[in-house]
Structure 1
Amino acid sequence: MYRRTAAAAVLLAAALTLTACGSGGDDKAAAPASSDKASAASPKPPAASPVPDPADAPAPSGAAVAPDAKPSGPVLPDAKLTPKTGSFKENEKKYLSGRVPEKMDPAAVLQTGQETCQRVERTAKRDKDAAAASIASGEITGAKDAIENLCPEQKPVLAMAQKGFGDSPAAAPAPGTYRAVTQNPACAWEAKGKDGNVLASGPETPAKPGDRITATVPAGTTEFRSTSCYAWLPA
């Protein structure tokens, strides 16, 4: 009797041990599944923010103003238009007159005008029409004052640009024939009169790549509009 009871106890203990082992193994197997589920349910951390575009950054307080801009606030009187070292030439002083904000270095403003001249000169060296078109279209700003005072040798380019205009609406252009400084077949234009009626438009026939595109502005035109033509110069 005692042997049977002892044997039964041994068997019961063994069974309990196996049950405990099986239970522990199931917990371990289930753990990764639970972890995966939690990971799937939790939102992933946001990606690192991209590096901001330098063009979006605010201009430093000492940055030069645009070469064609006129300060709205107080400006340096002509008597104080002096660089930190040396002196300005008379033509440089003339360019700077009324253009330098009170707390800005005149040399920084002068530099913008010099850079405008450099852009015109580099472009004109390759193609004078392209240089004039860059001014007429507004791509190169501040050219009038810069050329007249700092690089007068470019006055012929300026004179050509002043007779032309860009894609933006031109008010009351001089009557005549103009050529587009582009060979884009998508170039289209129209000339409107005082009452808004269309006096002329083009191209009259679809342009092909490489074609010279012209527009005839009739007398009485009060507004000339174009798209994809870049700029117009007298033909």
Structure 2
Amino acid sequence: MRNPFLACAAVVLTAAALAACGSSADGNDPEAAGAQRPAASGPAVPGAAAGTPTASAPPSADATEGDSDSDSDSNDGKSEAEGPKTPSDAITPATGTFTKQQKKYLEDRVPKGMDPAAVLQTGQETCDKLRYLVKADRDTAVGAVATGEIPDAAGAAGGLCPQHQDLVDEAAYAYPDGTHTGKALRPGDYRSVSPTPNCSWEITGAGGKELSADSSTTGKSRKITIPKSARTFTSTGCYAWLPEGDRG
């Protein structure tokens, strides 16, 4: 279920993007310090996804063998789109110049024939979303990365706004709504982020034995413990679960 806070943020950021389209980056902006933002002539930047796809996560030493619903490779956020890409030495804007940091971000991301400034703007607006959300509520920002509501957050943080890398790192240990099992399942304490009034969860062990299950209709954050004996964790309507304490 779409997070209403994220939906509101998307409206605010879309308005800001329209107002700033085609302008140069603000020199006081931490993401754009020393960089010239070229005008984009490509497609509009996608908004937050309506669904909550399961995010990839580091494996656990205690995890059992088997596939999981969270086993996709992060590939450092670079595009998986089919088709040839523009060689890095041929990535140049129609006007102005790209900084070294911007050119590094654009490597292997620009399809042939596409304006690289449009690809760069997508990454810059992802950084804008991260900055907006972390100021409003850090947990919601991490949850938005974990659920995929902010697409390519790992790529943007890794290349354009490294000050938000901590959000991506924490999101790698979070659980979005869905079913998690096998190598993606890690024991520990977790808290729900922006749950709906229809938040429910279930933890099962070997043979499908129920270890714990509960629901909440308050819309307030709840805490759970995933034991080492857990084999499957299923969450619905809770948006995302963030780790408590150490994540070692």
Task: Please indicate, yes or no, whether the TM-score normalized by the shorter chain is above 0.5.
Answer: yes
Question: Match of 1:133?
Answer: 143
**Could you say if the C-alpha distance between residues 62 and 120 of structure 1 is closer, same or farther in structure 2, counting changes exceeding 3 Å?**
closer
Residue 167 of structure 1 aligns to which amino acid in structure 2?
A: D
Superposition pairs for residues 141-156 of structure 1, below 5 Å?
Answer: 141-156=151-166
| Aligned equivalents of 2:151, 2:219: Cα separation in 1 | 28
Asked if structure 1 preserves the Cα contact closer than 8 Å seen for 2:203 and 2:213, the reply is no
| Aligned equivalents of 1:63, 1:71: Cα separation in 2 | 17
**Could you say if the C-alpha distance between residues 73 and 202 of structure 1 is closer, same or farther in structure 2, counting changes exceeding 3 Å?**
same
Superposition pairs for residues 37-116 of structure 1, below 5 Å?
Answer: 69-116=79-126
Structure label with greater radius of gyration:
1
Residue among 201, 206, 212 paired with 1:201: 212
Question: Match of 1:159?
Answer: 169
**Could you say if the C-alpha distance between residues 190 and 104 of structure 1 is closer, same or farther in structure 2, counting changes exceeding 3 Å?**
same
- How far 1:88 moved relative to its partner? 1.1
Normalised to the residue count of structure 1, the TM-score between the two structures is 0.66
Query: Tell me, which stretches of 5 or more residues in structure 2 are unaligned?
Result: 1-41, 48-76
Asked if structure 2 preserves the Cα contact closer than 8 Å seen for 1:200 and 1:216, the reply is no
- How far 1:161 moved relative to its partner? 1.3
Question: Match of 1:16?
Answer: none
Structure having the higher helix fraction is 1
Cα deviations by residue, 1:67-96 (Å, 9 ceiling, x for unpaired): 863221000000111111122112211211
| Aligned equivalents of 2:46, 2:219: Cα separation in 1 | 39
User: SS at the partner of 1:169?
Assistant: strand
Cα deviations by residue, 1:24-74 (Å, 9 ceiling, x for unpaired): xxxxxxxxxxxxxxxxxxxxxxxxxxxxxxxxxxxxx85668986322100
| Aligned equivalents of 1:84, 1:194: Cα separation in 2 | 59
| Aligned equivalents of 2:105, 2:91: Cα separation in 1 | 11
Question: Match of 1:190?
Answer: 202
Asked if structure 1 preserves the Cα contact closer than 8 Å seen for 2:186 and 2:226, the reply is yes
**Could you say if the C-alpha distance between residues 198 and 120 of structure 1 is closer, same or farther in structure 2, counting changes exceeding 3 Å?**
farther
| Aligned equivalents of 1:79, 1:234: Cα separation in 2 | 42
Normalised to the residue count of structure 2, the TM-score between the two structures is 0.62
Give identity over the alignment, percent.
40
Question: Match of 2:53?
Answer: none
| Aligned equivalents of 1:64, 1:213: Cα separation in 2 | 34
- How far 1:116 moved relative to its partner? 0.7
Answer yes or no: is 1:225 the counterpart of 2:225: no
| Aligned equivalents of 2:227, 2:200: Cα separation in 1 | 16
Question: Match of 1:177?
Answer: 189
Residue 73 of structure 1 aligns to which amino acid in structure 2?
A: G
**Could you say if the C-alpha distance between residues 63 and 120 of structure 1 is closer, same or farther in structure 2, counting changes exceeding 3 Å?**
closer
User: SS at the partner of 1:72?
Assistant: coil
**Could you say if the C-alpha distance between residues 198 and 211 of structure 1 is closer, same or farther in structure 2, counting changes exceeding 3 Å?**
farther
Asked if structure 2 preserves the Cα contact closer than 8 Å seen for 1:177 and 1:216, the reply is yes
Q: Which has the higher contact order (CA 8 A, sep 6+)?
A: 2
